Structure 1
Amino acid sequence: MNSHLLAHMTWQEYQSKVNSSVLILPVGSTEQHGPHLPLGVDAILAEKMSLAIAERIDAVVAPTVSYGYKSLPASGGGPLFPGTVDLKGATLTSLVYDLLEEFLHDGWKRILMISCHYENEAFLSEAADLLMRNRTAEFPKILLSNWWDNLSAEVMPQVFNEVPFPGWALEHAAIAETSMMMHVAPELVREELIVDEGIDNPPSYQSFPPSSSLIPSSGCLHTARSSSAAKGRLIVENAADNIVAFLEKEFLVKKRLPNNVTI
């Protein structure tokens, strides 16, 4: 049993957290991640990142939203690969709106959404904005973030020490995500199936329907060569620490030490 997971709590345990804690809603996707990573990477990383944050501030982690907005060819491979299961933008917005509305109805004043799917954020922003736009009080408050925008500058050269950083869109199933999965779920990484290929010249436009010639048959957009569990741990811990830093400001929470002493 994990004491931070809402799904593992009784309703009384859940209710006791509402007034004093932060609720984290992880949002991922079900999407191809090449031959070496599972379809659930974004959902797995969303939950694991949320738990890393929760352990630092004693937060509650809601059940993960495991489907996301449409995978785009040059940032996820698109709908060309079996197992990529997409939601329409309006569907994702409506789903997340309903979830946030329910959590507010339960009494939550501080909610953080953690998205680990590149294409989700506009629709998560829309859901939060539609729900909160007429409210003027400081609380309740909803924040939206991800791990890649919360990496310290000094971490990037350590992660991309052998292969140059190609930009976050092409980093799909590449060094960062592969390393993170090696750290949080190594049993799901097929290291022997890592391929050293990707998109050399990503287009500056989108095509509908998407061109099957744009993406390598493996589904990889960039190499995962040089990935490691050590890099994955560095990414998770650095991003979690930086997210907690802005939660201390925005939510007035205190980081907890391993023995539950606040600092």
Structure 2
Amino acid sequence: MQLQLVTWPEVESYLTRSQGIVMPIGSTEQHGPNGLVGTDAICAEQVAKGIGDRTGAMVAPTISVGMAQHHMGFPGSMTLRPSTLIAVVRDMVESLAVHGFRRFFFINGHGGNIATLTAAFSEIYAGASLAPASGRPANMPAVRCLLKNWWEAKQVGALSRELYGRAEGSHATPSEVSLTWAAYPEAAKPMTLDPEIAPTGGFTDAADYRRRFPDGRIGSNPGLASVEAGQRLLEAAIVGMAAEYESWIKES
């Protein structure tokens, strides 16, 4: 059930039976020579939709631009400053909390978002805790946020190891590229890469990233990606994350 595809009476009815909502968040950034710029947002959105279909959960609009300053050396990449992303997440959560949503299950598709999302959650909790001291009513009782990275589902990890082994890497991975191709098979770009497995290592800013990883990959070989593998990975992610959602939503 996608929030933007229902009416307000349907949202009102949903809130009589559930206070949970799935919040997909990703990024718009380079993903190597054959990965889509929207990979992280596409992956998060597809998994979130699958969770909604499997559990009946409401699914919020995808936050498609994240904290990706280190990818700005590659055309098409976009970024929000950490402070901007914190404000966006807080405003979205607090807007929905006004209507009665209380459990916010973030499905994340971009590792660069993790620190900022964690800080955003702290800002939300601080706002609720400090409301009485500021003279404002505490009008968001028991709001809870949880961050889950779709690729950390145990089913996904097992499958990616089976399919790709050490060629999975950490950026522009064959798993994430495959998943986007499953969603958009017409956009698949099979190719042979040289070197097959990209170098690994750390980085600082965008210029340093581009110098160290000139084609955008880190430790990966997305030349192994396929639509068929993407379909298997998507189903594995949905099964794993839906179970996580259902378990968490039952907690007091």
TM over 0.5: yes
* Pairwise CA distance, 1:181: 1.4
Gapped regions of structure 2 (runs ≥ 5): 130-139
Counterpart in the other structure of 1:157: 161
CA distance in 2, matches of 1:41, 1:208: 19
Does the 8 Å contact 1:182/1:228 carry over to 2? yes
Equivalent residues, number: 237
Q: Aligned pair in 2 of structure 1 residues 179, 121: CA closer, same or farther (>3 Å)?
A: same
Match of 2:17 among 11, 20, 35: 20
Match of 1:228 among 226, 231, 243: 226
Counterpart in the other structure of 1:66: 64
Could you tell me which amino acid in structure 2 is paired with residue 150 of structure 1? Answer: A
Deviations 1:125-178 (Å, cap 9, x if unpaired)? Answer: 11122212556x994322111111113353233222xx52454x3xx2231111
Does the 8 Å contact 1:199/1:214 carry over to 2? no
Gapped regions of structure 1 (runs ≥ 5): 73-77, 254-263
CA distance in 2, matches of 1:108, 1:194: 47
Q: Which moved more, 1:176-185 or 1:80-89?
A: 176-185
Q: Aligned pair in 2 of structure 1 residues 209, 182: CA closer, same or farther (>3 Å)?
A: closer
* Percent identity for Structure 1 against Structure 2: 29
CA distance in 2, matches of 1:143, 1:104: 15
CA distance in 2, matches of 1:151, 1:196: 30
Counterpart in the other structure of 2:100: 107
Could you tell me which amino acid in structure 2 is paired with residue 149 of structure 1? Answer: E
1:95 is the counterpart of 2:99: no
Does the 8 Å contact 2:34/2:222 carry over to 1? no
Counterpart in the other structure of 1:51: 49
Give the CA RMSD over aligned residues: 2.5
TM-score scaled by structure 2?
0.83
* Pairwise CA distance, 1:190: 2.1
Counterpart in the other structure of 2:119: 126
Is the helix fraction higher in 1 or 2?
2
Does the 8 Å contact 1:24/1:114 carry over to 2? yes
Q: Aligned pair in 2 of structure 1 residues 45, 208: CA closer, same or farther (>3 Å)?
A: closer
Does the 8 Å contact 1:147/1:236 carry over to 2? no
Could you tell me which amino acid in structure 1 is paired with residue 166 of structure 2? Answer: P
CA distance in 1, matches of 2:6, 2:180: 26
